Structure 1
Amino acid sequence: MRFINWIKLILLVCVQNVCSQYIKQADSLVNMGKLDKAIEIYTKDSSRIKFYKTAKVYEIRGDLDLAKEYYNYYLDEDALNKKVNYDYALLLLELNRFKEAEIIFKELVKEDNNSIYNYYLGNVLEKQSSLAEAKFYYEKSVTCDSLFLKSNYRLALLLTNENSLQEAKKICNRFLNNKIINLEMLKLRAQINFNLKDYFAAIDDFEMLIERNQDEKFIFEKLAISYYEIRQYEKSRILFSELINEKDDAQYYIYRAKCYGFLNLPEKAEEDMVMAINLRTFTFENEYFSLGYFFQKAKNYKKAIYYYNKTLKQDKNHLEANYHLITIKDYLGNSPQESIQNYKKFLLRFSNLSNEKKEYINQRLTVLNNN
């Protein structure tokens, strides 16, 4: 009897060794890129591992539906294998079978509350627009590993979309201020700084991205606007000129026109504003007003009046255009009585004036009344 048992054991070991040889041979073929031949060899093996191995080969080939089929063959025999369930859930995620993937990731999180499982559960929930629940699992992932990049990034992005910009920036800073330079995180912080109107910080981030050969258009657009906002008009002009070379965009011309205006080049500003107006199909009161302001600054009052009047044709209640027309006419020598009447009508019409303008007008009325 013992002899028979020994024979059975020897035969079992032999069978296992043969099966193991099939797996090793097929694995070697996979490494050589001979995928069809590897699949053929895997089928000769009698253990259930062949189903998992075959599923992985079909994934490599891009035959995801066949991969799914072989994962199911494996899981029919061993439903509790964590590694196989994890890989299968990732495949379901790629196949956009989000609900099925969610069920598996929830089971995995119950068994092992780690950063990776929580991240993917958050990710599959986000793809189903369950944003509050996704945020919860990203936070759990970060609790498990505070420097797990993927969860931190998705969490920061969700917070940004909620307009919780300072919270999102703290997450970005935790990585970037510790010299963990991730380009997606850096892009996100650059845009957060831009949205917070912290233009100096935004410029630092956008310039760092350009140094790292990032060339998305939004980087150059927002860098150009940031330069404009901190009054570095020549740097802004150069960038908008480069953007215009790539695409005729009305907004680019408007910004470059304003740069020219503040650089005391009103004629060039006028050329760009005309280009912007030709490219746009809606109202232009702000563009006309800007030209009026730049020509007034250059003491070309005739053109300033011309553009302020064009502004009022688009919007008769444009406060600044009305105000500057009155002050120019007053400066050019309107009769005191006419200027007094203009200022008084203006005060009645625009009651929401700034205190600064009210004070100037009242001081001017005092002078005019004493003349």
Structure 2
Amino acid sequence: MRKLIILFSIVILKAEAQTSALQLADSLYLHGNYTKAIEAYKAHSNQEDVYQNIAKAYIALGNYDEALLNYENSLKANPKDALVLFDYGKLLARVKKYKQALEVFYQLIDIDYKNPNYHYESGLVLQQLGDSTDQNRFRNAYDLDNTHQKAIFQIAKFHLIKRHHAVVDKYVDIGLNSYENNKELISLKAQNFYWKEDYESAAKWFEKLIELNESSQFIHEKLSFCYSEIHEVEKAIEQQLLALKYEPKNPKNLFILGQLYERVSDYENVVKYYKESIEIQDIPLDHEYIKLATAYNLIDKQKEAIDAFKRAIDENPNNHQAQFFLVLTLDSYYKDIDARIKLFENYKDKFPESIFISFAERKLKELKEEKHMKSD
């Protein structure tokens, strides 16, 4: 009897020691000391019990190969452990082993078809594989749980791409009904109004994103456009400036900003942003130079306007608009009437088929009459 008591006591002491060691390992893991946690787990006598824990610690360290190896060791001991399978499948997807991940998620669906997350995760993998049946899985997840925010997002995003506006509204509204501050769904709602060209409603939902501390080049660009379309130009300028903070050398956004300043007659900034846009681009820029030259004319900088029109012509010699506007600017710049007459005569000879020819002829007639009156 005494020997039995001693033996029983030893067993209890060993069990307590193992429990204590496991608690230490768990504590190290929870406090972010992952390498020490792994060492403690590996010291555990029954490794089958801690393979999953070791795998999670390796994931935290970014060592995915070791994590996969430990998940596989755990599954050798317990092939149908759903928790381990789920984590293993997600890690396989994370390291882009999509076909293996899909097999794992299909195995989980066989184990528990009514778990919406198994369908959702398999949908994500199918999406990466370019398999159009991904939507079936997202829909299954939604049917099993109509508050599944991530599944709702994937369904709504798919229909937004297809421009199925009513379907997008349906799913987004369902999602927002259970989680009103879901930023991804709010973004889809804003974009859905945007593509329906309901810019006032779109602006309200983009504003909602900003209220929720979201900020991105995409948001500010789209909100700027919405404000521009509903004639709130000052707000459009403000958002365009915010968009430029993300990409200061974006030529398109710089040019748009110049156009917005033109609408509020701030021609100094018109010139500034048109010039910045033009200097960055390496494509034919005759249109942009015409806009810049026009802005110079509006602030009485004719010499700079002349240079800009000449640059437009260098970019595209067949741009009749640039050619004619250069003549008009030179006409107002020159004092000598004969030189001014020569401008329009040369234009007529060079561009007899121009859409501006009738205007040139009328101007030429006026100049000749003016010269005749002065000579009298």
TM-score calculated relative to the size of structure 1: 0.72
**CA shift at 1:121, angstroms?**
0.9
Residue 84 of structure 1 corresponds to which residue in structure 2? 118
Aligned with 1:125 (options 159, 163, 170): 159
Matching of residue 313 in structure 1 with residue 352 in structure 2 = yes
Q: 1:305 to 1:239 in 2, by over 3 A?
A: farther
Alignment of 1:17-32 (within 5 A): 19-32=48-61
C-alpha separation between the residues in 1 aligned to 2:341 and 2:93? Answer: 68
Note if contact 2:119-2:140 (Cα within 8 Å) is conserved in structure 1.
no
- In structure 2, what is the equivalent of residue 48 of structure 1? 81
Structure 2: which amino acid aligns with 1:188?
K
Question: In structure 2, what residue type is equivalent to 1:284?
Answer: N
SS at the partner of 2:135? helix
Distance, in Å, in 2 between the alignment partners of 1:308 and 1:112 is 78
Evaluate the alpha carbon distance shift between residue 331 and residue 174 of structure 1 in structure 2; reply closer, same or farther with a 3 A threshold. farther
Q: Which SS does the other structure have where 2:50 is aligned?
A: helix
Structure 1 position 34, deviation (Å): 3.4
4+ runs deviating over 6 angstroms: none
Residue 107 (str. 1) matches residue 144 (str. 2): no
Is the aligned partner of 1:284 residue 2:319?
yes
Report the Cα distance in structure 2 between the residues aligned to 1:316 and 1:125, rounded to whole angstroms.
Answer: 46
Give the superposition deviation at 1:239. 2.2
- For the 8 Å contact 1:237–1:259, the answer to whether it is kept is yes
Give the direction of change, closer, same or farther, for the CA distance of 1:168–1:332 in structure 2 (3 Å limit): farther
Structure 1 contact 175–181 (Cα < 8 Å) conserved: yes
Q: Give runs of aligned pairs for residues 38-77 of structure 1, distance below 5 A.
A: 38-43=67-72, 44-46=76-78, 47-49=80-82, 50-77=84-111
Say whether the 8 Å CA contact 1:118–1:141 is kept in structure 2. yes
**Cα distance change of structure 1 residues 168 and 127 upon mapping to structure 2, 3 Å threshold:** closer
* Deviation (angstroms), 1:222: 0.8
> Is the partner of 1:67 in helix, strand or coil?
helix
* Contact 2:251 2:276 (8 Å CA) reproduced: no
Letter in structure 2 aligned against 1:263: I
**Aligned 1:1-371 pairs, distance under 5 A:** 19-43=48-72, 44-46=76-78, 47-49=80-82, 50-98=84-132, 100-114=133-147, 115-127=149-161, 130-176=164-210, 178=211, 180-183=213-216, 184-211=218-245, 215-248=249-282, 249-280=285-316, 283-298=318-333, 300=335, 302-303=339-340, 306=343, 310=347, 313-316=352-355, 324=363, 328=367, 331-332=370-371
Unaligned stretches of 5+ residues in structure 1: 1-16, 336-371
RMSD: 3.3
Tell me the SS of whatever aligns to 1:313: coil
In 2, are the aligned partners of 1:23 and 1:41 still within 8 Å (CA)?
yes
Shift of 1:267: 3.3
**Which structure 2 residue ranges, 5 or more long, are not aligned?**
1-45
Moved more, 221-230 or 309-318: 309-318
Partner secondary structure for residue 352 of structure 2: helix
Which amino acid is the alignment partner of residue 22 of structure 1? Y
| Post-superposition CA distance 1:151-191 (Å, at most 9, x none) | 22223223223322222122223344x47342232221012
What's the counterpart of residue 10 of structure 1? Answer: none
Q: 1:123 touches 1:134 (CA, 8 Å); kept in 2?
A: yes
| CA–CA separation in structure 2 for the residues paired with 1:169 and 1:52 | 40
Residues in 1 aligned to 2:85 and 2:354: alpha-carbon distance in whole angstroms = 72
Shift of 1:196: 4.3
Query: What is the percentage of aligned positions where both structures have the same residue?
Result: 15
1:140–1:294 CA distance, 2 compared to 1 (3 A) = farther
1:99-138 Cα offsets, whole Å, 9 max, x none, are x221122222233333443222111333456454334323
Aligned length: 316
Q: Which amino acid aligns with 1:277?
A: I
The answer on whether the counterparts of 2:331 and 2:343 sit within 8 Å (CA) in structure 1 is no
Shift of residue 319, structure 1, vs aligned partner: 7.0
